[in-house]
A and B are shown apart, each in its own frame.
Chain A
Amino acid sequence: MVEKETTVSAGQWDYILLLTTLLLVGGGVVMVLSASSFLAEKRFNDAYFFFKPQLVFMLVGLALMLILKNIPYQFVCRLSYLWLFIAIVGLILVFVPGVGHKVGGSSRWLHLGFISGQPSEFAKFALVTVLASSLAAKRNVIKSFAYGLAPHLIILGILAGLIVIEPDLGTCVILVVITVVMLFVAGVRISYLLSLVGLSIPVLAVLILRHGYQLRRIIAYLAPWDDPLGAGYHIIHSFYAFALGGLTGVGPGAGRQKLFFLPEPHTDFIFSVVGEELGFIGVALISFLFLCLVWRGIVVALNAYELEGTYLALGLTLIIGVQAFLNMFVVTGLLPTKGLALPFFSYGGSSLIMNFICVGIIMNVASQSKR
């Protein structure tokens, strides 16, 4: 960090981070093919219906990552309020008929001519950039409520509020977690954070009770076997997938739980397919890759050129890390079912491209790190 500044060597690569990312995305697209081909064949008469666009998104993402690696992160941070503005506009537009698009009762999609995507994915990025630049700027007044806490909570409130009414509780939880962790690292009083967590519990309860399915998911989480054909159906079939995989898995492509038993085998429950096809070894390896990614991100944050870089690298790492671990916890039944994608694995362009963007910026922070 700034005070210990020695030398800044621009242009250096964090090879471990690069390798980890490539391994994750490589495994990810293969699993998308495996998990989706049967469904795609049945539904669209084209086994590569999901695989082909995912491949394109991957290439676009890789390109963006390489570009962003060479754009100074300071530039990204300087435009943070622009990102925030775009995110807010996008989140509002999803409710506008014509551009917004409703899928399964939730308004999460935006169609703007040739491009479409989920603004909530972008919102996570926007929030992290705003928090990073703001927290770095307020480093000396961080303990004060008015400067250190309130502005950040307001930004979080706006974004989370918009996402919650989509509704998309999963992303909302991610935003809250990222914010709390960043505030904690920045040095906001622990008592504030604890009371913030305390306050969010009744809010969460209201949100859960408002949507019947959320409550059912909680019940299913607590006691999945009570209603194996109803609320517990998804998680139980996820359990089956893991169990059938055993130690070594049934082999790539040979999984059977993805055959309409698992909900969303190529998106939210893709990790169950990993569990079945690659077994415990695959599960351990892929979760380790995510841990590895987090570890590199943290190392980059620790060695960042200045505090803003630290916070930015940390926040971007959290976007991937928190989401990855929450998803893996959900499909293994450690947390209630939430609609969360597994970074680099789940099918979906917005998510994949945003993950590459995050890694690209982390790489830039790394390239400016001190030695």
Chain B
Amino acid sequence: MKSSQVRWTRFRIVVVFCVFLLAWGGLIWRAASLQIHNRDQLVKVAEQEYLRNIKLIPVRGDIFDRNGEKLAVSLSVDSIYAEPIRIKDPAAMTNQLVRILDLDRGRILKKLSSKSYFVWVKRQVDPDESAAVRALNAKGLGFIKESKRFYPNFSLASHLLGFVGVDAQGLEGIEVAYDDYFRGEVAYMPVMRDALGRTFQDRLSKSRPSMKGDNLTLTIDRRIQFVVEKALNRAVREYNARSGICIVLRPRTGEVLAMAVAPGFNPNVYGQYPPKRWRNIALTDSFDPGSTLKIFLVAAALEEGVVKPFDRLDCGNGFMSIGSRVVHDSRGYGRLTVSNIVKYSSNIGAVKIGRRLGSDHFYTYLANFGFGSKTGIDLPGESFGLVRPCDKWTEVDAANIAFGQGISVTAIQMVAAMSALANDGLLMRPFVVSKITDPSGKIIKKFRPQVVRRVVSERTAREARRMLRMVVEEGGTGMLAEPEGYPAAGKTGTAQKLDKNTRSYSKTKFVSSFVGFMPYDDPELAVLVILDEPWPKFFGGVVAAPTFKEIGEKVLPLLNLAPRSRPSVMTSTLEKKRNSELERHFGLVGQVKAGFKPYQLNRKMAGQNS
């Protein structure tokens, strides 16, 4: 072989190697494209196909009252699912399941006969049912722990708490308002799926996130709530009312201690009640307040200086013409002081004060007391009520509004406004959640009392309180509201409802209420009681005041307030002032702070001595 031929052969062999080199280069380029350049896009498509994220719903956080009592808890219960593709004999399995679980045969058979990978058989089953199905040991059936909401106090505070749906989603009340906290962080457990559709968990990603939502502590006191509901339910029954509302607030802070609506419902089985039963009408519904509004009119007039407490106004012996209409009082009064107009709830007196004050001023004060706007309470569904702008008021409207007709307010607005008078003129935002804690007990959020605004001066508030005290004293319209052993103050209201048929005020349908606070000299509670359409008795001072009294008598001792002698409005203001100074520095006089145990203190002191 010639050497040129050899050289050519060698050259051709090198060419072959060069082809391999090129092929290798092409391969590297391709691999880089797949694994680096276009990677993210491909991975996204791939994960869609075989990564199935199973949504892990954390155990819902609990709800506690202010003393740590459980109001809503979550129990871990079994839910049963099926993997139809793995079930060989759907008919036989349906028979077995129907025997144990209360299920519709046809629907289950259809589900089990399908070609899907996952169907629910029955969710949140009883432990007995779960055990029975487990005992079948059937292929293609599985169990998932789910959290089920349970309200251990049944209907207690049902409207306030609300309830959750089957997927643990808040549907009403606090459950929906704070749903994001209760839910906790929804975790997605990546579950692999192989080509045969079977799921399995990746060994590497076994770490599961904290599977519990946050806990809420409410300002509600379960004991007070219980007392309130009991009293309210009895009143609703006794006076044949359609419904009743009662709210108990701490005037100084705006904390809601109790909020009840009668009739209630059991949130554990909310589905058994008509949806309108679920409504927390203390927030959602508004009504004509009636005479309870007079005190805000008077407070406004005092603040503006257009009347003085002992100014006398002519109450026209029970009749007063406004245009073509006549305003009545329940009894004919001659000249009444402003204080007595409140005490006897004279409509004519109120109209005259309203005229002195002027509609625009009155409107401004109503708005400042919070009427016509949301209070900002941390619950869903609150409505605005209806306060028409004062430039739309006719003379008759202005007169009506002076004694609380032709204006619409919600229960929470009314009790918040009354609290402002009890709280020396400062309007507080009402709230029900005091703190949010994570599962480990760490406080995530703490809610502090919020001042909305100063509505009237301290002095005006004190004057208004004095008048409200007179209402409850001998001869006032609210005599029946005075609890045994505790001085109280408040205002009655009996509003005529608008009859839809006759388009005039009804003579038989009333909204009767009492709103006040106690103890008078140091308001700890602001309480509103409303009865809708009580009959045949209907005066607020007759049907609602006794409920106020009952609540006071039972709740005030719970706050460790000892009964005391009745201070009259004439009690020396000096003494009161001294008391309030003391309280400001040392807490409530006569009240033992919660959790304070004297013997512990003694022991500790003894230990220090030794």
Question: How long is the Cα–Cα vector from A181 to B20 in the complex, in angstroms?
Answer: 12
Judge whether A184 and B12 touch: CB under 8 Å.
yes
Let me know if B46 and A247 touch, CB within 8 A: no
- Is residue B192 contacting chain A, with contact meaning CB distance below 8 A? yes
Asked if A325 and B31 make an inter-chain contact with CB atoms under 8 angstroms apart, the answer reads no
Contacts of A280 in B (CB 8 A): 31-32, 35-36
Contacts of B45 in A (CB 8 A): 240
Residues of B within 8 A of A16 (CB): none
Enumerate A180-214 residues with CB–CB distance to B below 8 Å. Answer: 181, 184-187
Q: With a CB–CB cut-off of 8 A, which chain B residues contact A140? A: 1
Check B196 against A260 for contact (C-beta < 8 Å).
Answer: yes
Contacting residues of chain B (419-458) with chain A, CB-CB under 8 angstroms: none
Contact with A298, one of B13, B42, B196 (Cβ below 8 angstroms): B13
Taken residue by residue from 284 to 324, chain A's Cβ proximity to chain B (1 for < 8 Å, 0 otherwise) reads as 10011011001100100110000100100010001001000
Contacts of A321 in B (CB 8 A): 20
- Check A259–B35 contact: CB distance below 8 A: no
Number of chain B residues whose Cβ lies closer than 8 Å to a Cβ of chain A: 38
Contact A307-B1, Cβ < 8 Å, known A332-B30, A333-B30:
yes
A256, CB-defined interface residue at 8 Å: yes
Q: Does A76 contact B (CB under 8 A)?
A: no
Stretch from B3-11, B487-495, B539-547 that touches the partner: B3-11
Contact among A1, A244, A275, A288 with B24 in the assembled complex (CB-CB below 8 Å): A288
Across the interface, B9 reaches (CB within 8 A) one of A187, A245, A284, namely A187
Taking a contact as CB atoms closer than 8 A, the residue among B5, B31, B192, B196 that contacts A284 in the complex is: B31
Chain A binding surface SS class? helix
CA distance A3 to B5 in the complex (A): 11
B17 at the interface (CB under 8 A from A): yes
Which residues in B have their C-beta under 8 angstroms from that of A314? 13, 16
Is B601 located at the chain interface by the 8 A CB criterion?
no
Would you call A283 an interface residue if the criterion is a C-beta within 8 Å of the partner chain's C-beta atoms? yes
Given contacts A244-B46, A256-B192, A333-B30, contact A302 B10 (CB under 8 A): yes
Q: Is the CB of A259 within 8 A of B23?
A: no
Asked if A150 lies at the interface with its beta carbon under 8 angstroms from chain B, I say: no
Question: Does chain A have a CB within 8 A of B591?
Answer: no
Using CB atoms, name the residue of chain A closest to B46.
A240
Q: How far is the CB of B504 from chain A (nearest CB, A)?
A: 73
User: Would you call A243 an interface residue if the criterion is a C-beta within 8 Å of the partner chain's C-beta atoms?
Assistant: yes
Chain A residue nearest to B192 (CB atoms) is: A256
Q: How far is the CA of A254 from the CA of B109 in the complex (A)?
A: 39
Chain A residue nearest in CB terms to B20: A294
A349 beta carbon closer than 8 Å to chain B? no
Q: Is the CB of B195 within 8 A of A239?
A: no
CB neighbors of A among B1-59 (8 A): 1, 3, 5-6, 8-10, 12-14, 16-17, 20-21, 23-24, 26-28, 30-32, 34-36, 38-39, 42-43, 45-46, 49-50
Majority secondary structure of chain B interface residues (helix, strand, loop or mixed): helix
B17/A259 in contact, CB under 8 A: no
Q: Is the CB of B35 within 8 A of A283?
A: yes
How far is B12's CA from A240's CA once the two chains are assembled, in angstroms? Answer: 38
CB distance from B49 to the nearest CB of A (A): 8
A329 touches B13 (CB 8 A): no
Decide: B31 and A283 in contact? CB cutoff 8 A: yes
Contact, CB under 8 Å: B26 / A334:
yes
In the bound assembly, the distance between CA atoms of A280 and B31 in angstroms comes to: 7
Is residue A246 within 8 Å, beta carbon to beta carbon, of the partner chain? Answer: yes
In the complex, what distance in Å separates the CA atom of A243 from the CA atom of B14? Answer: 34
Query: CB-defined interface of B142-163 with A at 8 Å, one 1/0 digit per residue?
Result: 0000000000000000000000
Q: Is the CB of B194 within 8 A of A310?
A: no
Q: What CA separation (Å) do A187 and B7 show in the bound complex?
A: 11
Listed residue (B6, B8, B14, B34) with the most chain A CB atoms within 10 angstroms of its CB: B34
A-B contact sample (9 more), CB < 8 A, given A291-B21, A298-B13, A307-B1: A1-B10, A187-B5, A239-B42, A240-B43, A246-B36, A247-B36, A259-B194, A275-B34, A325-B20
Instruction: Please name 24 pairs of A and B residues whose Cβ atoms are closer than 8 Å in the assembled complex, sorted by A.
Output: A185-B16, A239-B42, A240-B45, A243-B38, A246-B35, A246-B36, A247-B35, A254-B204, A259-B194, A261-B194, A279-B35, A280-B31, A283-B27, A283-B28, A287-B28, A288-B24, A310-B13, A314-B16, A321-B20, A325-B20, A325-B23, A329-B23, A329-B30, A334-B27
Q: What are the 7 closest A-B residue pairs judged by CB atoms, nearest first?
A: A243-B42, A260-B195, A240-B46, A242-B34, A280-B35, A259-B194, A283-B31
